[in-house]
């Protein structure tokens, strides 16, 4: 698998090569944040040239029952249709970015991998890395209206996932990580879901610890040390969840950079908390 991160200058070089007849590169703008602002107006104000806007709520998730969580995985056929609408073809290099510490971009990266895309990368440092490096932005929506539909073939199941039952049993013989902020893990606050706390046996692993002060992912050795200190090893199963399955992908990306193969619980806490029969733990310990 190609390295899951790309620097701004590496992306610029890939785009220059593609413009000169080299391998195609598709750039996806996945700006989104819980509670706004909306990503599409930001895209129109300025985006990486050639990028296509992707809506997380409607294209990287589907509507479901509360017991499925707030961002259930989209059906494979629907996702394939969306990806073709972004202009993706089999074998394309796909680069995703946002302006939210790569949290939404991590979801796009993981979902594309789960659906079978072969070369997906996240712009390390998010959009600010691109502008800080001196690269230009395009304005308006011409890059959206000029997309030539692609013919990518996708199907579900190319990355491991956890059901609620899997998440419940994993701490007995593996490691289950909670990617949310520490106060939500401890149950001190819960602004969205019906119950506060964490899955019994889960270990707190906030996404903020994956990045340096500039929003870049830590180097592989440092990330490996971080996760090994939480009990992760190559010979133990590791899974991760968050609030609704979005930021869990950020930990999954960091774990992948560190050399591990994580599974994601897509329903995450929003699914667990809406199943009254599921137990809840609170406090700082698993």
Structure token digits, residue 190: 């819960």
Task: Note the pLDDT of residue 35.
Answer: 72
Q: Are 61 and 138 in the same domain?
A: yes
Q: Are 214 and 265 in the same domain?
A: yes
Q: Are 59 and 99 in the same domain?
A: yes
Overall residue count recorded for the chain in this entry: 286
Q: Are 141 and 177 in the same domain?
A: no
Helix runs in the chain, H state only: 8-19, 39-45, 56-59, 76-85, 103-114, 126-132, 142-145, 164-169, 182-186, 220-229, 248-257, 268-272
| 29 inside domain | yes
Spatial separation of the C-alpha atoms in residues 234 and 259, rounded to whole Å: 8
| 220 inside domain | yes
242 is catalytic: yes
| 96 inside domain | yes
Task: Note the pLDDT of residue 141.
Answer: 93
Q: Are 186 and 121 in the same domain?
A: no
Task: Note the pLDDT of residue 38.
Answer: 82
Whole-model pTM: value is 0.96
Domain count, the chain: 2
Q: Are 89 and 14 in the same domain?
A: yes
| 158 inside domain | no
| 22 inside domain | yes
Report the interhelical angle of 248-257 vs 103-114 (nearest 10°): 70
Out of 116, 145, 174, a domain closes at 145
- Domain containing 101 — which CATH number? 3.40.250.10
| 34 inside domain | yes
Q: Are 113 and 171 in the same domain?
A: no
| 277 inside domain | no
Q: What is the phi/psi pair of residue 86, to 5°?
A: -80, -5
Task: Note the pLDDT of residue 33.
Answer: 79
Tell me whether the omega of the peptide bond preceding residue 54 falls within 30 degrees of 0, making it cis: no
Q: Are 201 and 121 in the same domain?
A: no
Q: Are 13 and 60 in the same domain?
A: yes
Q: How many CA atoms lie within 13 A of 98 on its CB side?
A: 24
| 286 inside domain | no
Task: Note the pLDDT of residue 2.
Answer: 82
Chunked into runs of 10 residues, the chain (286 residues) has average pLDDT values of 93 97 96 82 96 97 94 98 98 96 97 97 98 98 94 98 98 98 98 96 98 97 98 97 97 98 98 98 97
Q: Are 215 and 262 in the same domain?
A: yes
Catalytic residue among 126, 175, 177, 242: 242
Q: Are 31 and 102 in the same domain?
A: yes
Q: Are 133 and 169 in the same domain?
A: no
Q: Which domain holds residue 239?
A: 164-272
């Amino acid at each position: 698998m190609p390295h899951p991160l790309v620097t701004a200058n590496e992306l610029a070089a890939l785009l220059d090569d593609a413009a000169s007849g080299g391998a195609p590169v598709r750039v996806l703008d996945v700006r989104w944040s819980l509670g706004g602002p909306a990503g599409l107006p930001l895209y129109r104000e300025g985006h990486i040239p050639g990028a296509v806007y992707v809506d997380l709520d409607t294209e990287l998730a589907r509507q479901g029952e509360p017991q499925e969580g707030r961002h259930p995985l989209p059906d494979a056929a629907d996702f394939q249709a969306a990806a073709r609408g972004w202009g993706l073809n089999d074998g394309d290099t796909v680069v995703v970015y946002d302006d939210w510490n790569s949290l939404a971009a991590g979801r796009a990266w993981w979902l594309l991998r789960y659906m079978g895309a072969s070369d997906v990368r996240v712009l390390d440092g998010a959009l600010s890395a691109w502008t800080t490096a001196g690269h230009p932005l395009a304005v308006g929506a011409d890059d959206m209206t000029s997309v030539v539909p692609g013919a990518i073939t996708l199907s579900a199941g190319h990355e491991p996932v956890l059901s609620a039952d899997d998440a419940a049993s994993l701490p007995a013989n593996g490691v289950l990580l909670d990617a949310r902020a520490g106060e939500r893990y401890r149950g001190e606050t819960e602004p969205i879901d019906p119950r506060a706390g964490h899955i019994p046996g889960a270990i707190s692993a906030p996404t903020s610890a994956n990045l340096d002060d500039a929003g870049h992912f830590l180097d592989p050795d440092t990330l490996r040390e971080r996760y090994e200190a939480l009990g992760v090893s190559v010979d133990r199963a590791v899974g991760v969840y968050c609030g609704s399955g979005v930021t869990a992908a950020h930990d999954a990306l960091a774990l992948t950079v560190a050399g591990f193969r994580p599974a994601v619980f897509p329903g995450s806490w929003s699914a667990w908390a809406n199943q009254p029969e599921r137990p809840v733990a609170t406090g700082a310990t698993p």
